[in-house]
Amino acid sequence: MKVSLMKSFLIDRYAKGGALRLSESPEPELRVNDVMVEIRAAGVNLLDNKIRDGEFKLILPYRLPLVLGNDVAGVVVRVGANVRQFKPGDEVYARPAQDRIGTFAEYIAVDATDVAMKPTNLTMEEAASMPLVALTAWQVLVDKAKLRRGQKVLIHAGSGGVGTIAIQLAKHLGAYVATTTSTANVALVKSLGADVVVDYKKDDFEKVLKGYDVVLNSLGKDTLEKSLAVLKPGGKLISISGPPDPDFARQNGSGWLLRQVMRLLSSGIRRKSKRRSISYSFLFMTANGGQLEEITSLIEAGVIRPVIDRVFPFERTNEALDYVETGRAKGKVVVSVR
């Protein structure tokens, strides 16, 4: 049987700052519960850089060579034998499951339960910018924080990929929203609905903000620890940039040794949180088509809009990754595949 080939960007080994290799690789296998998506656009995330650099090799044991890419928008071309909810020709978007990534390519097979119809009011590039960051914001604010009307939330890095969506979602949930950003992005985060903006080039957020219910941290250890001063007793510190905690290790099905490593990595921040009667948790977002459908409704209702900094052509995927790594992107960076 002839194997169909597709263009893809992949890594052969983990290397900090290494370039992805443009290659001809076999089209993915379509399983009975999958949809095969012809990729039109792919979102670029810092997660891609971190996987390439080998930062997640402990918790995400990928087989190399590996096609990178965690966000997709495109058109269904085939469906598996058990799939009823999608058909060829459907325009869809998704964050594939973490063990089946590979959106920097011409095709990807995704489990149908991880897929949703593309919002009708978005282009393919706009749709591709949404799944990972919108699901992250949803899983932090709705699932973990159970954010309610009138509560106060601090969202760090408000002009970043997750931040731009989290601000809009938190406002929709009725929260009072503070965010941190640099001078250049103050107007952007205000336009998304932030009530208080702390320009980190001028002020220390931990001295300005007090009595918050929730903090969403996407930055380093320093910011994580300073965030404790912002929260009131009973508050929730939720980090998407680590360190991983024992709960995450259990959910991830990690072995005994890895569970101990994660317990150790997060012991400092858990101890400091406990002293202040604050709960610390780590969130590594997961694929979820049902939640993505709810996000689609909010996008189509005009509640949430994508924020895109730049769109790169497919052959310049490495440049897109380099640009994301600078940390200067406002919102998302996207690769246009076809």
pLDDT at 58: 79
Select the more confidently predicted residue: 216 or 261: 216
pLDDT at 2: 66
Residue 165 pLDDT greater than 70, yes or no? yes
Of the pLDDT bands very low, low, confident and very high (cuts 50, 70, 90), residue 144 is: very high
pLDDT at 223: 97
Q: What is the mean pLDDT of the chain?
A: 96
Residue 233 pLDDT greater than 90, yes or no? yes
What Å distances lie between residue 321 and 12, 125, 211, 324, CA to CA?
A: 17, 16, 37, 5
Quote the CA–CA distance of 168 and 173 in Å, as a whole number.
9
Residue 19 pLDDT greater than 70, yes or no? yes
Percent of the chain with pLDDT over 70: 99
Quick: pLDDT tens for 72-128. 999 999 999 999 999 999 999 999 999 999 999 999 999 999 999 999 999 999 999
Report the helix count and the strand count for the chain, using DSSP H and E: 12, 16
What Å distances lie between residue 65 and 11, 21, 116, 194, 222, CA to CA?
A: 5, 10, 28, 42, 35
Quote the CA–CA distance of 31 and 33 in Å, as a whole number.
6
Quick: pLDDT tens for 128-141. 999 999 999 999 99
What the chain holds in terms of domains, given with CATH numbers, is 5-130+306-336 (3.90.180.10), 133-282 (3.40.50.720)
The predicted model gives 316-322 an average pLDDT of 98
Select the more confidently predicted residue: 251 or 229: 229
Quote the CA–CA distance of 324 and 110 in Å, as a whole number.
25
Pairing of the two strands 176-181 and 115-117: unpaired
Quick: pLDDT tens for 251-283. 888 889 889 999 999 999 999 999 999 999 999
Residue 1 pLDDT greater than 80, yes or no? no
Of the pLDDT bands very low, low, confident and very high (cuts 50, 70, 90), residue 3 is: confident
Amino acid 87 reads K
Of the pLDDT bands very low, low, confident and very high (cuts 50, 70, 90), residue 299 is: very high
pTM of this structure: 0.97
Nearest 5°: the CA angle 326, 47, 313 is 65
Quote the CA–CA distance of 123 and 149 in Å, as a whole number.
32
The predicted model gives 216-241 an average pLDDT of 97
Residue 324 pLDDT greater than 80, yes or no? yes
pLDDT at 56: 85
